[in-house]
Each structure stands twice: as C-alpha cells, then as structure tokens.
Structure 1
Amino acid sequence: MKRWSGLAVGLGLMAAGTVGGVAWAAAHGTSVRPATSGAVSPGGSGASMSAMMGGGSTGGMAAAMNQYMGNTHAVMGYVGSGGSGMMAAASGSVWTPGHVAALVQQSERGVTIDRATNTITYHNTQDLLVPLAAPAALHLPGMQWEIDGLINPTVVVPQGAHVTVDLVNADQGYMHGFEVTKATPPFQEMAMMQGTAAFSGSFVMPILPETSQGQYHRSTQFTAATAGTYHYICPVPGHAAHGMVGQFVVS
C-alpha cells in the first residue's frame, strides 16, 4: 500500500461515480467545476474536486468528474507519468529538510509529548501542529501520520484554541491532504464522504509528494470551538482506511 495501492481499490472508487464526488463537494462546501492552473487555496475554499485530483481546465461538471474518476492513480493520489494536470492543481511551496525540522521543533515548545500513551497535549490558546504525511523514512507498511515524533498520536487542544496546521508531505509517491472531521471509524475508502469538517478551516487540500528539492507544504488555521472527540485524516480516497488517522480531542 505504501507505494502501490492496487487496481482493485481504484476500480471500487470509480464505481462511486459522479454522485459520490458531488456529495463530497457538498459536504465540504466545495463546488465541482473545472480546475484552473496554479495553486489551490489553503483550506479548500472555492476549490474543486477536479483540482484536488488533477482535473482539466475545460468542460462542465460532467467532464470534470469524468476526468477525476477516470484514472485509478489519480483517485488514489498517486503522482506518476501523465499526472501533469494534478501536479499543476496541487502546486504549493517547498520547504527544505532543515526548514521542516526547525518548524517541528517550534511546534514542540510548550506541549506535553507522552510517548507511553502516544498523546500530544497542547496547553496554549495559539497552537502549531505540523503533521508529516506518510514519511518515507519510517519504512512502515501502510500509511501513517508522524507528529512530533509520534505515529498517529492523539492530539489534545484546549477548547477555543486557535490552531495553525502546517501540513508537510513527506511521502515520495502520493499526494496527501489533512482534515479534522466529524466522521468516526471505521473509515472507508471514501472517508471524506463519511462526515463534514469538524471546524471551519480544518481542511487542507492535497499537496504533491516530496522532491529532491524538499517537501511540499500547505497551511490552514481554525478555531477548536466545540469540545469533543474528532479525528484527523488524510482525505485522499483510501488513505484514512489504510492508516492515516488519529484522534483530535478538544477539551
């Protein structure tokens, strides 16, 4: 799964068709329309499903969804030959390994990292979360999040905290996004259709895999206004089902 998701999963996702794509867009306040070249705005505001997965720049809704559902690699977020449309839609900033390491160190200040319980607790009202998406260096099967050196940890923030998420794609083969969702496990292949984003702004559109120049990143901000237990996932189809999920607790 880490580097090749398999055709069967892709074909299963294709069977969801246009209805699934439109339902996802409606749940996330996103319209399904042809993509335009260039960066997709952080948090998914005004972004399209075709932009998320490499849709074209012409045609109507049907054309956009046909292109979105018509390539199993695109559905799974895989970037390979022929993925230029997706790469243009998912463009973002690139950080060097040194920049990423410095940001992770910054995010660890003033937090409690409990390795025994695999829990990270934030105590301030201004919090920085730096999730590393499926780091290739872990050499683990499946897909995971790494946050402050922990794998898929429970993240605890105070109610009312203003959270900045700096998503970094540390994978070498797949696009990844980020979402704090109201959906609950078990997560299916189309996990982003199981529930809406937990908070306004708690969604980051998928970004490209790492390159020889560094790792792509994209940021968003949201307020953890309502206490409760939520989950953070990768919204790319199949990724939450294969391990990219953790608890997000607002207390």
Structure 2
Amino acid sequence: MPKAFLIKKFLVMDLETYNLNGKLIPYAVSIYNGHKYHFFYLTDYENSTQMLIAAIKTLMLRRYHGYKVYLHNFSNFDGIFLINILNELSENISIKRHNDKFIEIKFLFNAGKYKLYFRDSLLMLPVSLRKLALQFNVGGKGIFPYDFVNSNNLDYTGPVPDIKYFSDISEIEYMIYCDDFKYVAWDLRRETEKYCVQDCVTLYQVLDKFFNENFSVTRVNASKDPSLSSLALANYNFY
C-alpha cells in the first residue's frame, strides 16, 4: 500500500450581514489561512459586490491552487452571496448540488490554470460553530449584537448596544461584556473584525484538529471529501 500523507491545503472564510427590508446584505468578510487573516468592510467599498470581489481576489493566487475554502453554513447561506461573485470572476465554475444544497463549487481562475473549491464545513461537521469550539477545545465563538447593524450605522462608535440586540445572552454575560468598554468606546467596525476573525480562527482550528484526528486513525485525508457521508464511506473503504 502506498504511504499516506496528511494534506491540509485549506482556508476558511466568514461573512457577516445585516437585514435591509428583509434582504440580507453582506457588510464584512474575513479570510484566514492558518497564519494571517484578511478583513474587508463595506464602508471601504462602493457596495457589497465590490467588497466580495476584493475578498475573492485575495484567494486567486497560484499558491492557493487546489485549496479548499470552508464556510460554515455555506450551502444554505454564504453560497447564495458568493455564487454570483464567482461567476463574475470566472467563466469556468462547476457546482455540485444535493437536495438543492451546494455541496461544492469548483472555481477555476487565471484562464483555468488554477482552481479553488468552496465547501460547507457544516456538511462535514453538522453542529454549530459554538458547539464545535467546545467539542474540540479550541478558541470559542464570541458574542455580537447582530440586530444592531444597519446601513446607517456602519461607522458607529459609542456605548455598547442594548442587550436586546444580542442573541442568546444572559444579563450577567452582557454586563461582563460591557465591562470591557468602561474606558473605551464600542466601535462597530472594530468589534465586527474581532468577531468575524475569531469565527475564522475557531473554524480553522476545529477543521485542523478534525483532519489530524481522522488521519491518525484511518490514514484518510478528510479534506478530499465534501461531506460527512462521503468521508464515512472513504473511511469504511480504507478498512
């Protein structure tokens, strides 16, 4: 049997959105490669489309050829925003679907010389990122006032938003959070960056641990499979 090697060519990506009359608008993006991150914020661009184009272009490099780009809940959420952007940046993309969900999007660039694969980490690890952080004992998911953000306050600095804008947070947790801003203003852009990047770092650490643990037991590279079911079959075939 040929010697197996662990392959970990992957990145992670996260989008943050706000609600505008029932329509979700991306206003921030972070990308993390395990060493450094890129952050994009809507006020630096003419619109969300331009922001997303700038984000994807940072991935269109030869050194990322063959990499998988994971987003948690890509199939049901982020993929909706990215599919049009990917189509705009390349005439050569292919989509795998199952039950109306994106399983994988293969994105070719530089005249088809290089490629990226966009995937949903939720299909591989089907629980929330907060629970995954606990299960894999990695940096946790932060808290954030999702309902506070709108098109008119992206440059907001001032007091911490009211607890009503936060989801699933106790009064004690809210008070502890507010304590960090006794002597400094709460800044929406800065806090979005911290939250968005933390999500990326957490997801990267979870996937890194998962890929290592699966390989140590089965000698199968989990990143070759886009979903838990296909990985289970690969693991079974190994034996």
Normalising by structure 2, we get a TM-score of: 0.25
| Larger Rg belongs to | 2
TM-score normalised by L of structure 1: 0.24
Larger helix proportion, structure 1 or 2?
Answer: 2
